[in-house]
Amino acid sequence: MKILWITSVLFPEAESLLTGNIVDLTASGGWLLGAADSISKLSNVDLHIACPARVNNYVKLVGNHITYHLYKGPMLHDWPENDAVWSEMLNLVAPDLIHIWGTEYASTLSVLRVAERRNLPSLISIQGFKISCAYHLLDGISIIDILKSGKSIQWGIMKKIRSGLLGEKIEYYKSAANEIKALRLAENIIGRTKWDKKLSMIINPSLRYYHCDEILRNVFYNGIWEYNKCKKYTIFHSNGANTLKGLHQIIKVFPYILRRYPEAQLIVAGNDVWKLADSGDYYAKIIVSMLRRKKLESKVYFCGNLDASAMKEQLLKSNVFILPSSIENSSNALAEAQLLGIPVIASKRGGTPTMIQDSRCGLTYQYHNVTKLAKLICKTFENSSNFDNTYMRDVARKRHEKTNNMQNLLTIYDECLTSR
């Protein structure tokens, strides 16, 4: 069975083959590595992966168990010429089935069009919904926050509407239009939460929906968080540079936490917002402005992009993991935290309630109730010496069990091939 994956991520092995340098994935997309590692080693699967890269022309690379097909990307818009790229790709690979990871990319709609013309079966894995991201992009950010990060009110209004966060919100809605077209064209999708099933079926009631949980990166299947080994009163947030991940929400109430726990510290992974602000990133400017106004510069530490091992190490030595996102489907950072057993707190948005069904698997709060977030963090600091992570880890291990999820994915592939 020859499977072609369409992804938005340049896999580390492919990048190493392309550049000659040893690299590891530090950006989004870690779940792809776990799934690819498991399924590519099966004797009955010939896995090919199409990845965007800084190349001028098509490049084929042969890895240990995977064949990579690099194309010039990413494809940011649904241009007519995209179809020719994918038509050529399908001619070269000749797959039995196409598996597209994510509805939110311009390439998804193009691939589906080409596949439909060839009567080639296809499958989409839901990662998130651009329409929801567009709607919730500026949740928790006021116009005052936007203007305070600029030079003047006049400059701020005009500049930021055109090219800042408001402009970004408009671009999200434009992408969402293509996403809806793709979902209406699709036949088969994979999801993981009650939320993604409900939303996808609203958009296209005729979809065949399959449930398949994700395989995480290997390092997270070993290790356990222990209170006596963590750095007390440290809060870990895994992605501070993305507006949707809600760093601004915790900064709002961090002074309240510091009044009760002066030694508390917030550790933030992802791109350094100080550097991003200097380069002109509008959300980073808002964060920097908030940190300075609240005098939190010495209490919030940006640790940069982390590979899997570094992320695991940071989770194990933190006191609590927070996910204050304005929208999520099934956060892999949350899954990794649960698998290791660190206390977790998350906003009750999107698919998160499927992952945190009761307080034994984590604490939740309504996104805009940041006072509740602060109280939950303080409660965790107070009680974490007695925290029992046994049930949470058992649930996470069952949900992300490699063999079961891999077999489930293969069954889905078989059904997609035989249902046409």
From residue 355, alpha-carbon distances to 209, 359, 361, 364, 380 in Å are 19, 11, 8, 11, 19
Look at the pTM and tell me if it is higher than 0.85: yes
Residue 155, pLDDT > 60, answer no
**244-303 per-position pLDDT tens digit:** 999 999 999 999 999 999 999 999 999 999 999 998 888 999 999 999 999 999 999 999
State the Cα–Cα distance between residues 420 and 413, nearest whole angstrom: 12
Chosen CATH of 218-399 out of 3.30.565.10, 3.40.50.300, 3.20.20.70, 3.40.50.2000: 3.40.50.2000
Vertex 15: Cα angle to 9 and 18 (nearest 5): 135
State the Cα–Cα distance between residues 418 and 399, nearest whole angstrom: 27
pLDDT band at 187 (very low <50, low <70, confident <90, very high): very high
Higher pLDDT, 291 or 153: 291
Higher pLDDT, 81 or 115: 115
Domain 2-216+401-411 has CATH 3.50.50.60: no
What pLDDT shows up at residue 5?
97
Sheet harboring 320-323: ordered strands across?
A: 300-304, 265-269, 234-237, 320-323, 344-347, 363-365
Q: Which residue has the tokens 């964060």?
A: 287
Q: Taking the mean position of all CA atoms in its chain, how far away is CA 368? A: 21
Domains 2-216+401-411 and 218-399 share a fold: yes
Rg (CA), the chain: 22
Strand duo 363-365 + 344-347: pairing: parallel
What pLDDT shows up at residue 48?
97
From residue 193, alpha-carbon distances to 13, 29, 32 in Å are 30, 18, 18
- Domain ranges for the chain: 2-216+401-411, 218-399
**64-100 per-position pLDDT tens digit:** 999 999 988 777 777 778 899 999 999 999 999 999 9
State the Cα–Cα distance between residues 314 and 237, nearest whole angstrom: 10
